[in-house]
Homo-oligomer: A and B are copies of this chain.
């Protein structure tokens, strides 16, 4: 056994996202080999949508004959910020959709949005020696994406706020940002940035436009950026079931991804921000990764000027997930209604349903273990509350369930879930 640095110990100590990715990768491979029946309702792997798969394969085939393009894509490093030509095309597309005249220099391509967040979160939180302070990332609404939780190279980089829980119907609720708490937190703590995913992973919440504007104004007042994780959101893949348009404005960092379009294997993230930020991302990228990968950019390059990527998102991807979401909700109501106390967050986007079991005899961790033992993978809810120091009943009684797997898996998983939790 070697000796490891604090950095290594911090990042190898076992993380929610590590467990998730292990379940997702090894769990699936193991099941495939052993011919086991499982329901992988844990991970965030996007669905294999046949129409999109065909589009991707056709794109691959189309590129086969493009000698120069292939030679360059495989054989050249891009600059650390990404190929200029691609960023120019993307800037035109985004300017139209985000209602702001964005330039190529406002864009930095990264090795996936996870990598972008590693850089961003550690840039706006942690030790600030010049200011003689330790700043934190404020998550204005938890539960929030599990993948952030362990990204700090230092401990304790998050502070977060429990939401207001508003009942919307029988067995349904939404989370809302508690703005008085937020203002209070910003007055009393040293905050480097505000960060949220929209739609929220895991809850499927879509923070309303007015609240987004309010957040941006507050962030700007405090001279800190508002980081918005659009991995599932507008303008692509736009897995949102309410009006979701969000303009870019100075003071905002939007992070996009190709993963939920159906291309997670290409590891492509996109940061849209002021130039002082994108240029720092580029500097960091060169040190961490030399340059981003090229294939993701090549894949979508021709779908920008003609808005094809928006059409795929709105006409194929969004309807697919909407139907899946409604199906899973009906199924849950059918199987749970009679014998379990439960409530589900309104499904306004992303790939997940967020289930709350008040007063249940199992903690969410126990639910995870019980279900895993029967080949049903979900994510235990307690991983989604980084930086929350107050009591909040949802912290230990929720699970995240991926509704986007194939129908048989979802049916099987939900049946077993209903059985296990009512036993």
Knowing A11-B283, A21-B291, A286-B15, the reply to whether A57 touches B71 (Cβ < 8 A) is yes
Q: Mark A289-308, 1 if CB is under 8 A from B, else 0.
A: 11111110000000000000
Measured CB to CB, the nearest residue on chain B to A5 is B126
Knowing A21-B80, A265-B73, A286-B21, the reply to whether A5 touches B53 (Cβ < 8 A) is no
Knowing A45-B76, A53-B71, A267-B111, the reply to whether A4 touches B64 (Cβ < 8 A) is no
Knowing A18-B80, A80-B21, the reply to whether A1 touches B276 (Cβ < 8 A) is yes
Measured CB to CB, the nearest residue on chain B to A29 is B84
A74 at the interface (CB under 8 A from B): yes
A389 at the interface (CB under 8 A from B): no
A78 at the interface (CB under 8 A from B): yes
A284 at the interface (CB under 8 A from B): yes
Knowing A6-B127, A80-B25, the reply to whether A75 touches B264 (Cβ < 8 A) is yes
The listed residue with most B CB atoms (<10 A of its CB), out of A63, A85, A267, is A267
The interface on chain A, measured as residues whose beta carbon lies within 8 A of the other chain's beta carbons, has a size of 101
Within 8 A of B (CB), among A113-151: 114-115, 118-119, 122-131, 135, 147, 150-151
A73 to B295, CA, bound (A): 12
Q: How far is the CB of A301 from chain B (nearest CB, A)?
A: 13
A393 at the interface (CB under 8 A from B): no
Knowing A26-B79, A223-B2, the reply to whether A292 touches B266 (Cβ < 8 A) is no
Q: Which of B11, B45, B80 meets A22, CB within 8 Å?
A: B80
Q: What residues of chain B lie closer than 8 Å to A280, measured between beta carbons?
A: 4, 8, 12
Q: What residues of chain B lie closer than 8 Å to A266, measured between beta carbons?
A: 74, 293-295
Q: What residues of chain B lie closer than 8 Å to A283, measured between beta carbons?
A: 11-15, 18
Q: How far is the CB of A347 from chain B (nearest CB, A)?
A: 23
Q: Which of B15, B150, B192, B287 meets A118, CB within 8 Å?
A: B287
Within 8 A of B (CB), among A302-321: none
Q: Give the copy number.
A: 2
Indicate if the CB atoms of B15 and A287 lie closer than 8 Å: yes
Q: Mark A57-71, 1 if CB is under 8 A from B, else 0.
A: 100110110010011
Q: Mark A16-50, 1 if CB is under 8 A from B, else 0.
A: 01101110111011000000000000011110100
A224 at the interface (CB under 8 A from B): yes
Q: What residues of chain B lie closer than 8 Å to A124, measured between beta carbons?
A: 2, 4-5, 8
Measured CB to CB, the nearest residue on chain B to A63 is B60
Measured CB to CB, the nearest residue on chain B to A32 is B85
Indicate if the CB atoms of A128 and B293 lie closer than 8 Å: no
Q: Which of B8, B77, B112 meets A264, CB within 8 Å?
A: B77
A233 to B197, CA, bound (A): 43
Indicate if the CB atoms of B5 and A74 lie closer than 8 Å: no
Indicate if the CB atoms of A267 and B287 lie closer than 8 Å: no
6 pairs of residues in contact across A and B, judged by CB atoms under 8 Å? A1-B276, A3-B224, A5-B127, A8-B119, A45-B76, A74-B265
Indicate if the CB atoms of A287 and B224 lie closer than 8 Å: no
Indicate if the CB atoms of A5 and B128 lie closer than 8 Å: yes
